[in-house]
Amino acid sequence: MPLKWVLHWQPNAGTTVNSQIINEVTQCVESFNGVKEGRWKATITFYKPMIREQALAGDFPRDFLGIALPEQPNKYYLIIRLQRIVLEADSSIQMIMEKLQSYKSRVSLNFEGFQYQLGDFQLRVGKVLPTHSENLRGIVMEVEYLPISSMEKARQVMEDFMDIWQQALSKRSLPGHFMHMEPNFAEYGLADQYTSQHTAVQYATVMAQLIATVQAVQARN
Amino acid sequence: MECVVQGIIETQHVEALEILLQGLCGVHRERLRVHEICLKSGPNLGAVASEVRLICNLEQTEPTWTVRHIGGAMRGAGAEQISVLVRTMVESKASKNVLRLFYALGYKLDHELLRVGFAFHFQRGTQITVTVASVNKMLQLHATDEAVPVTPGIQLVEVTAPATSENYTEVVAAVSSFCEYLAPLLHLSKPGISTGVVPTAAAAAASLMSDGGGEELSS
């Protein structure tokens, strides 16, 4: 399948995300003659262990995530980031997790927005929102390059595209920039050929970045 | 949900059962070789103790994994009157690192089994699966190549059919009526209620085997 990079908006120190930034980013995509194709939505759920004795909480992963991706509507991804595990399963695994009553979903975040086609590239810009809330927590962007599925072979073309994109966006003097943090896929047992498991791992990485950003802001205040 | 019944048969009569099943189902048997790993939640994990099964299909060139959760059986007067167990069952295919994930989540190995035999999947009023397999235990952890039978000379027969809360009565009826055809060779009942081997098995098997031979001669 075509590879993609998942990027997150890194606000400048002292600033936060707001919907004006989304509008500017969207206008920027449209100025590239991007063809609007419709909505997309991914969801990340944080799972928390249900523990009988709180003193032993350290024995269980605290960064256990479930991810639903629009590119694989019948699949679900479970990730334990610190242990570098990504599991691909059917959507029904969510029902199994519920029945086991060993982990419960604590909070869910939606990543949602519009999809655009720009020649061989597909762009998705999205807001990060807690479910049932309009409280903007972050901005993400997916850049997908349709002709290639090897991460390494596509690296140059992706970097070139990102240069052009960042240049165009910088003209708008926004208080931040999109950042690409490439996870070490090999640590998760993933190869160079792109799969949806790569996407899930990227979302988990973006999530960790968003949390770190929020924590940094809170620490400053 | 699924409907399920189980029974046992002596290995010497399995060939006759296969001939009977082949005739009843009209499909070819599939070889069955599955490694089943049963995990239980660690002592401190979960609102209640929980159990999950990881099933590795070794018949595929690249083994495939399934997570299976078997829930409680349907209860009540209605459930007791029927001869088929109706229970919740949820399955999900998973990538091959599923055992590692469950260990990381705090699940522990309870036991593991290797089932070797064959299965028939067919439509008869409902979608029915019949598996006939010897159940083997591993002498060393995950050593499926060195498995030994748990009950030598005896194989486990399982008839299952997927159901929903809307249609389970029809599925139960379809499973029960199918089981009657197998009655001369084995008795099928709810799991956990063992009824042993049937006394007519040897005679029924002999008859089936000779019929099978006859067909082959006349063809």
**CATH number for the domain including A7?**
2.40.320
CB-based contact (8 Å) between B194 and chain A? no
Q: In the structure, what pLDDT confidence band is assigned to residue B80 with cuts at 50, 70 and 90?
A: confident
- Tell me B56's DSSP state: E
pTM: 0.93
User: Tens digit of pLDDT for each residue in B155-182?
Assistant: 999 999 999 999 999 999 999 999 999 9
Q: Dihedral sign, CA of B112, B117, B122, B124?
A: negative
For residue B48, list chain A residues with Cβ-Cβ distance below 8 A. Answer: 101
The pLDDT of residue A56: 79
User: Containing domain of residue A85, as a range?
Assistant: 3-220
Which residues of chain A from 81 to 140 reach within 8 Å of chain B, CB to CB? 83, 85-93, 95-96, 99-103
pLDDT tens across B86-144, in order? Answer: 999 999 999 999 999 999 999 999 999 999 999 999 999 899 999 999 999 999 999 99
Class of domain B2-218: mainly beta
What whole-number percentage of chain B has pLDDT above 70? 96
Whether residue B216 is predicted with pLDDT greater than 70 in this model: the reply is: no
Chain A window 158-197: which residues touch B at a Cβ cutoff of 8 Å? 189, 197
State residue B144's pLDDT score: 93
Residues of chain A with pLDDT under 50: none
Q: How many domains are contained in chain A?
A: 1
B47–A contact, CB cutoff 8 A: yes
Phi, psi of B133 (to 5 degrees): -150, 150
Cα A149 from chain centroid (whole Å): 19
Give pLDDT, residue B210: 86
CA distance to partner chain B, nearest, from residue A167 (Å): 40
- Using CA coordinates, name the residue in chain B closest to A84: B101
Task: Transcribe A149-199 into DSSP letters.
Answer: -BHHHHHHHHHHHHHHHHHHHHTT--SEEEE-----GGGGT--SB--HHHH
pLDDT for the residue A55 = 80
Tell me what pLDDT residue B219 has: 37
**Residue numbers in B near A92 (CB within 8 A):** 90-92
Please, are residues B31 and B118 in contact by the beta-carbon 8 Å criterion? yes
Averaged confidence pLDDT in chain B? 92
Query: Residue B212's pLDDT band (boundaries 50, 70, 90)?
Result: low
Residues of A in contact with B106 (CB under 8 A): 49, 59-60, 102
Q: Is the pLDDT of residue B218 over 50?
A: no
pLDDT above 80 (res B36): yes
pLDDT of residue B177: 95
